[in-house]
């Protein structure tokens, strides 16, 4: 088995679409569901161009049809564009209000690309000379000689620089970069002129050209932070440590207003750029009326991410009301959404997904067993079949077989019930369980879901 625990979507590496949005077969862990993937690909393209914000998309479809998987695939292709995943039930917390937690999720999903010009010194090390004081105590001093193809300069070294030079193991012949503001030293590689020392350096050393021109240059560096990170750092009672503990509490709206102002200032000066990212809210039917009205309003704000939602509900009660609505989402909000629907998989797709899962979980399975498992998936559910992979492997190991075979699948499917059999069992033996509320006459599955009005 894999050394690292394998999660449900660990085989997903991306949407697996090319530039023309055609599916690349069997690449990046995604199978079938072409229409939904293409739709997601279109959205992804415009998100990457930074052209849209404040749009909302709903992925609707039966359980196990890959809604969460598609969202995870999108997140992997976004690069430095922020992506936040939230399960709708997470907004119900004791510490902060629903609207605060949605606001935080929104601001986590908006990136600010900040451009900074820094002064750097870049050159090849000619010599490092460190002077110790005679007694061996007290600060060390030293000299560093750097050169480019055009010039050579000697720099005085302080205690701190000597420390980082030693830590980076910088030697004569290395090409290094020093950030003047922070004093940080980066080793870029060894100079080509030292390539003949190959034996002394070993095979995994990178060789680079000795830089030309001035030793001291200006360089533009870009880093992306989320609005939420800026909020937390600037809210006085929290401090940046809250970013690690996650215990951010409510952030005052004045703090946010100030930050928004500052950032729009930066944008006008061309120092920063707003990058609307993606907020993924899974199980959207868990949100209530207040949350939906908040979303309605927040999506119209100037700084809003693209919100992608997923739901496997059909007609369902809107949480906190007695009204029924498609997907448990109020009609007026639904009207703003672009809806992507996911379809049930055909047998070939299921087989491929199961095969990929086997590879991911490092389980060897015979062709026959895979065929049987595919049958199991079509009659029960994909999720149930996926569970049988690792359990089947345990059973196969017990009988000292290296491959999972049909007998193992049969054995585990007898050991573990799927949902239909479990419901059947409950209706058959309900008298022996506590708190049984199903009337004997209508034991069908819908009866369990219905709220007792
Ligand atoms: N097109 C696909 N390609 C590869 N793997 C897939 C695909 N669709 C689903 N899977 C895998 O099948 C399993 C179930 O899919 P997923 O969790 O995305 O379903 P879902 O639509 O979110 O269901 P639910 O409504 O119950 O949340 C996951 O392990 C997922 O990675
Ligand atoms: Mg899901």
One domain, residues 119 and 265: yes
Quick one: residue 33, left, alpha or beta (phi over 0 = left, psi -120 to 50 = alpha)?
left
Residue 311, ligand 1, Cβ within 6 A: no
Structure-token pair, residue 149: 């193809």
One domain, residues 223 and 353: no
How many domains does the chain contain in total? 3
**Exposure string (b/e) for 161-197, b if CB count within 10 Å is 16 or more?**
bbeebeeeebeebbbbbbeeeeeebebeebbeebeee
One domain, residues 195 and 318: no
Residue 274, ligand 1, Cβ within 6 A: no
Residue 65, ligand 1, Cβ within 6 A: yes
Ligand 1 atom 11: the closest Cα is on which residue?
Answer: 66
CA distance 304 to 230: 16
Q: Is there a domain that residue 141 lies in?
A: yes
Ligand 1 atom 10: the closest Cα is on which residue?
Answer: 66
For the chain, what percentages of helix, strand and coil (3-state, to nearest 5) are there? 40, 25, 40
The number of the ligand 1 atom at minimal distance from the alpha carbon of 342 is 21
pTM, 2 dp = 0.74
Residue 236: predicted pLDDT: 64
User: 199 CB contacts (<8 Å, ≥6 apart)?
Assistant: none
Residue-level pLDDT, tens digit, the chain, 453 residues: 445 677 888 888 888 888 778 877 666 778 888 899 999 999 888 888 877 778 899 999 988 898 999 998 888 888 888 999 999 999 898 778 899 999 999 999 999 998 888 888 999 999 988 887 666 666 778 899 999 999 999 998 888 888 888 888 888 889 999 888 778 888 888 888 876 665 555 666 788 888 888 888 888 878 888 999 888 888 766 556 666 666 677 888 888 888 999 999 988 988 888 888 999 999 999 999 999 999 999 998 878 899 999 999 989 899 989 999 999 999 999 998 999 999 988 899 999 999 998 988 889 999 999 999 999 999 888 999 999 998 999 999 888 888 888 998 998 888 888 888 888 888 888 777 767 665 555 444 444 444 443
Residue 192: predicted pLDDT: 83
Distance from the CA of 74 to the center of ligand 2, in angstroms?
Answer: 14
Residue 440: predicted pLDDT: 53
One domain, residues 262 and 118: yes
Give the CATH number for residue 282. Answer: 3.40.50.300
| Domain enclosing residue 327, as ranges | 13-109+277-342
One domain, residues 143 and 229: yes
Strand ranges (E), 327-433: 337-342
Cβ atoms of residues 300 and 58 within 8 Å: no
Residue 4: predicted pLDDT: 65
Residue 449: predicted pLDDT: 47
One domain, residues 124 and 225: yes
C-alpha distances (whole Å) from 426 to each of 20, 422, 423, 452 are 50, 6, 5, 19
Phi, psi (rounded to 5 degrees) for 108 = -65, -25
CA neighbor of 449 nearest in space, from 316, 327, 326, 283: 316
Show which of 297, 325, 342 is a domain's final residue.
Answer: 342
CA distance 350 to 378: 8
Q: Ligand 1, from 34, 69, 87: best to mutate by most atoms within 8 Å of Cβ?
A: 69
The number of the ligand 1 atom at minimal distance from the alpha carbon of 71 is 18
Cβ atoms of residues 170 and 125 within 8 Å: yes
CA distance 364 to 389: 9
Residue 66, ligand 1, Cβ within 6 A: yes
Distance from the CA of 65 to the center of ligand 1, in angstroms?
Answer: 5
Residue 82, ligand 1, Cβ within 6 A: no
Distance from the CA of 179 to the center of ligand 2, in angstroms?
Answer: 45
Show which of 321, 342, 363 is a domain's final residue.
Answer: 342
Residue 209: predicted pLDDT: 87
Residue 401: predicted pLDDT: 86
293, with CB counted inside 10 A (0-12, 13-18, 19+), is middle
């Amino acid at each position: 088995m894999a050394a690292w625990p394998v999660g449900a979507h660990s085989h997903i590496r991306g949407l697996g679409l090319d530039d023309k949005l055609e599916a690349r077969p069997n690449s990046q862990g995604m199978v079938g569901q072409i229409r939904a993937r293409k739709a997601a690909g279109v959205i992804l393209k415009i998100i990457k161009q930074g052209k849209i914000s404040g749009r909302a998309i709903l992925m609707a479809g039966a359980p196990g049809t890959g809604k969460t998987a598609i969202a995870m695939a999108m997140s992997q292709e976004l690069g430095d564009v922020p992506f936040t995943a939230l399960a709708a039930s997470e907004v119900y917390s004791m510490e902060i209000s629903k609207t605060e937690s949605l606001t935080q999720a929104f601001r986590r999903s908006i990136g600010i690309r900040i451009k900074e010009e820094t002064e750097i010194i870049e050159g090849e090390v000619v010599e490092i000379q460190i002077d110790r004081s005679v007694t061996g105590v007290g600060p060390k001093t030293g000299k560093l000689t750097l050169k480019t193809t055009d010039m050579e300069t000697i720099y005085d070294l302080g205690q701190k620089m000597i420390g980082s030079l030693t830590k980076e193991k910088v030697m004569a012949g290395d090409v290094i970069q020093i950030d003047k503001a922070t004093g940080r030293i980066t080793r870029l590689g060894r100079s080509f002129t030292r390539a003949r020392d190959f034996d002394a350096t070993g095979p995994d050393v990178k060789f680079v050209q000795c830089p030309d021109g001035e030793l001291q240059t200006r360089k533009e560096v870009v880093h992306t932070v989320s609005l939420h990170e800026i909020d937390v750092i600037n809210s006085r009672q929290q401090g940046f440590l809250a970013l690690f503990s996650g215990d951010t509490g409510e952030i005052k709206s004045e703090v946010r207003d100030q930050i928004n102002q500052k950032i729009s200032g930066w944008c006008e000066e061309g120092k920063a750029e707003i990058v609307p990212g993606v907020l993924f809210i899974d199980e959207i039917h868990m949100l209530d009326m207040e949350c939906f009205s908040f979303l309605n309003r927040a999506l119209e704000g100037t700084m809003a991410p693209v919100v992608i939602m997923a739901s496997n509900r059909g007609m369902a009660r809107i949480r906190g009301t007695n009204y029924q609505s498609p997907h448990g989402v109020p009609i007026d909000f639904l009207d703003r959404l672009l809806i992507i629907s996911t379809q049930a998989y055909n047998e070939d797709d299921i087989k491929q997904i199961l095969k990929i899962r086997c590879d991911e979980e490092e389980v060897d399975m015979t062709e026959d067993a895979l065929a049987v498992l595919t049958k199991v998936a079509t009659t029960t559910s994909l999720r149930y079949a996926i569970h049988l992979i690792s359990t089947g492997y345990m059973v196969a190991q017990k009988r000292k077989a290296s491959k999972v075979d049909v007998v193992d699948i049969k054995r585990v499917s007898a050991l573990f019930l799927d949902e239909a059999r479990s419901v059947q069992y409950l209706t058959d033996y309900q008298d022996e369980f506590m708190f049984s509320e199903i009337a004997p006459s209508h034991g069908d599955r819908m009866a369990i879901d219905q709220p007792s009005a």
